[in-house]
Every structure is written in C-alpha cells, then in structure tokens.
C-alpha cells in the first residue's frame, strides 16, 4: 500500500458495519478509500491498478444495497464510490445518454423521463447505474439494464488503461454480467461510464409507466428500507423461471420458512426479504441459508441462486464457501 499515491487519505481499520442495510454487524476493512468523480479520478484508477496481482486485494462498491460483509471484515482495500458530481449527458443526434457510473438509478429514471425516454422498467431500483449494469438489475421480469446498454467504458486494472466494450448477446445474463464474473476473484474492471439508449415515447407515457411501477413497489420499498432488508439474497427472477413463483409467494405459502436463527430470518412484511438483528452472527445467517437451500431442494427440487455479493476477509466468496466457513 506504501507504493500507491492516491489523491485523498486512505483510512486504516475502517469499520464496515454501516455499509449495508440488512447486516447490523461487520468487521473492519484493513484499508478504506472514497473514490470521487473529480479531476483525480484517472490518476486514482492508475494508482489502484498497481494493487492488481499483489497481496492487497481491492473491491469497489456503489450504494452497498447488494452486499453482505462478514464479522471478519475485509483484509484489503474497500473502495466506496462517491455519488457526487455524477453526470447524465444527452447526445441528441444519436438519442443516447452518456452516464457516469456513480449516477443513482433514480436520477437516471427521473431525468430521462423529463425528456420523454423510457427507462421506466428501472423504477425503484436502489443504487448506482454502474452497479445496476454490473448486476444487470431489473424489477421482476421487466426489461433489465442490459437491454439499454449500448457501450460500457471500463478501466482495466490489469492493463492499466481505459477500454470500451459493446456488449454482445453473452455479456448479460440473469442478474449477472461479464464484468461481475470477471471481478469475482480479483477486481479487473471498474465501470466508469455507460452509454444507454431507450425509446422515445414522450414524457406523459413514461410517467404513466413509472407511476404504475412505483405504485406497485412503493409499500414494499418503504418497508424494505425501514426494516433494513436485503432486496434479494435469492435471485427472484431465477426462482420465477424455475418454479413460476417469486420469494414472497414461496415464503407466504410455506410456513416452514418462518424460521428464526437468532434474528436471521425472512421479514413478515413487504417482499418478505432477508433481515437480521443486532445480535445475529454469521453462523446464524449460515444456518438460515443452509436451511433455505435444503428446503428448496425438498419442496421444489432446485437450488436457489444467491444474488448479493458476500465479502469475507479474503475477498468475494460464494455461498457454499460462506456456509462451510461459518456454519
């Protein structure tokens, strides 16, 4: 870490407990940094790339609405993207939007609505546009992020340079993307900017679609944020594709899921998502996840897919590693 020269201070032993909604206790990040969209951004990215392929790993986060951090914290550099100075530029000729990755999805939806372009399927998705693209976010089976993406401008930490990718048909999949897969072991790509395109249908029509979606989501989003739940530990769209039902319906119809491992449970409200209490440990969560997997196998003969990123001391880990380590 001594060899890198970032434009602002790197904080040591930073407690990560406030970095997620649905997990009350988390360990420390060995190093913490706020990445800003200012004149130093390019220099900072070049400096961070020096950590690629070294013993200090790093991970980049947006609004933290889709991450789970363990009690052991993270023995690397936790990079937070600051949402300030985000930009949406409209290229009138091409009818495309050039959007900085730190833009909030809510801002994208509102700004484009005013110009009459239809991004209404992204209504109510929390977090940043860059993260939405990485996770190919969407609501239920409606048009996902990938359907709007024309080009992604990435910083490649391995090659230490900016590159552009025009996604092909394999780039996006259900709540997943080429970037998310490539960044699993080591963070290779930073999403810097995205070129998005959508249909012009006029402000009134977009507003109608926006209101329809927000009215369906309003109550559950409100509960979600006040309770502090995970939007999706389990990939809802995958469940719908495999068994024709989403998590809410499945949990409501099967009282066996009303189980509580010292606070690790599914909410009684809203979309019935995953929540925890102040005393819930990773072991309790591992018990709930293990129980859920076994129940799904027993009831539907499938294994549910995890959606959130699990961050442990050595970086991102998969669901079975988490269960093995903490059960």
Ligand X SMILES: Cc1cc2nc3c(=O)[nH]c(=O)nc-3n(C[C@H](O)[C@H](O)[C@H](O)COP(=O)(O)OP(=O)(O)OC[C@H]3O[C@@H](n4cnc5c(N)ncnc54)[C@H](O)[C@@H]3O)c2cc1C
Tell me: does residue 276 bind ligand X (CB under 6 A). Answer: no
Tell me: does residue 137 bind ligand X (CB under 6 A). Answer: yes
Whole-number minimum distance, CB 214 to ligand X, in Å? 11
Please pick, from the candidates 64, 188, 272, 306, the single residue that binds ligand X as defined by CB under 6 A: 64
Task: Give the DSSP per-residue string, 168-232.
Answer: -TTTEETTEEHHHHHTTTS--EEEEEEEEE--B--HHHHHHHHHHHHHHHHHHHHHHHHHT--S-
What is the spatial distance between Cα 175 and Cα 14, in angstroms, rounded to a whole number?
A: 29
Tell me: does residue 315 bind ligand X (CB under 6 A). Answer: no
Kind of pairing, strands 58-61 and 74-81? parallel
The CA–CA distances, whole Å, from 274 to 21, 142, 264, 292, 301 equal 10, 23, 7, 11, 22
Please pick, from the candidates 26, 109, 120, 128, the single residue that binds ligand X as defined by CB under 6 A: 128
Whole-number minimum distance, CB 147 to ligand X, in Å? 13
The CA–CA distances, whole Å, from 179 to 23, 120, 133, 309 equal 25, 24, 9, 13
Q: Are 71 and 53 in contact (CB under 8 A)?
A: no
Cβ proximity to ligand X: between 86 and 290 the closer is 86
Please pick, from the candidates 101, 109, 152, 251, the single residue that binds ligand X as defined by CB under 6 A: 101
What is the spatial distance between Cα 320 and Cα 309, in angstroms, rounded to a whole number?
A: 13
Answer left, alpha or beta for residue 60, where phi above 0 means left and psi between -120 and 50 means alpha. Answer: beta
Using the contact rule CB under 6 A, the part of the chain among 50-58, 59-67, 195-203, 254-262 near ligand X is: 59-67
Please pick, from the candidates 66, 103, 176, 290, the single residue that binds ligand X as defined by CB under 6 A: 66
Cβ proximity to ligand X: between 52 and 283 the closer is 52
Whole-number minimum distance, CB 142 to ligand X, in Å? 9
Please pick, from the candidates 4, 26, 41, 67, the single residue that binds ligand X as defined by CB under 6 A: 67
Using the contact rule CB under 6 A, the part of the chain among 10-18, 125-133, 162-170, 253-261 near ligand X is: 125-133
Using the contact rule CB under 6 A, the part of the chain among 202-210, 222-230, 248-256, 298-306 near ligand X is: 222-230
**Binding map of ligand X across residues 17-56, x = CB under 6 A, - = no contact:** ----x-----------------------------------
Please pick, from the candidates 27, 146, 231, 246, the single residue that binds ligand X as defined by CB under 6 A: 231
- Angle of helix 319-326 relative to helix 282-300, nearest 10 degrees, comes to 120
Cβ proximity to ligand X: between 95 and 159 the closer is 159
Cβ proximity to ligand X: between 16 and 125 the closer is 125
Whole-number minimum distance, CB 10 to ligand X, in Å? 18
Q: Where are the beta strands (DSSP E) in the chain?
A: 11-15, 28-35, 58-61, 67-69, 74-81, 88-91, 96-100, 149-156, 161-165, 172-173, 176-177, 189-197, 265-266, 274-275, 309-312, 315-317
Contact residues: ligand X, CB under 6 A: 21, 59-67, 81, 101, 124-128, 130-132, 134-135, 137-139, 180, 190-191, 221, 224-225, 230-232, 309
């Amino acid at each position: 870490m001594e060899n890198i020269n970032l434009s602002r201070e790197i904080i040591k032993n930073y407690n990560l407990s406030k970095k997620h909604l649905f997990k009350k206790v988390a360990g420390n990040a060995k190093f913490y940094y706020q990445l800003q969209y200012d004149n130093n951004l390019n220099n900072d990215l070049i400096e961070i790339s020096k950590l690629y392929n070294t013993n200090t790993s790093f991970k980049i986060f947006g609004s933290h609405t889709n991450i789970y951090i363990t009690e052991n914290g993270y023995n690397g550099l936790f990079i937070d993207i600051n949402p300030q100075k985000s930009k949406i530029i409209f290229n009138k000729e091409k009818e495309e939007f050039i959007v900085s990755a730190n833009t909030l999805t809510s801002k994208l939806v509102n700004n484009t609505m005013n110009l009459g372009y239809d991004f209404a399927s992204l209504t109510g998705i929390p977090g940043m546009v860059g993260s939405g693209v990485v996770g190919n976010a969407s609501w239920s089976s409606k048009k996902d992020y990938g359907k709007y993406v024309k080009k992604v401008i990435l910083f490649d930490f391995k090659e230490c340079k900016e590159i552009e990718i025009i996604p092909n048909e394999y780039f996006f999949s259900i709540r997943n993307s080429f970037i998310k897969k490539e960044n699993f072991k080591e963070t290779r790509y930073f999403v810097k900017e995205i070129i998005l395109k959508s249909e012009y249908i006029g402000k009134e029509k977009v507003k109608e679609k926006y209101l329809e979606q927000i009215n369906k989501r309003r109550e559950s989003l409100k509960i979600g944020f006040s309770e502090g739940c995970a939007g999706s530990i389990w990939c809802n769209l995958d469940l719908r594709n495999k068994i024709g039902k989403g998590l809410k319906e499945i949990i409501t119809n099967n009282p066996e899921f009303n189980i509580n491992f010292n606070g690790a449970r599914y909410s009684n409200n809203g979309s019935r998502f995953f929540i925890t209490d102040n005393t819930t440990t990773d072991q309790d969560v591992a018990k709930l996840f293990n129980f859920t997997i076994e129940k799904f196998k027993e009831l539907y003969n499938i294994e549910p897919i995890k959606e959130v990123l699990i961050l442990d001391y050595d970086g991102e880990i998969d669901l079975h590693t988490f269960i093995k380590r903490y059960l």
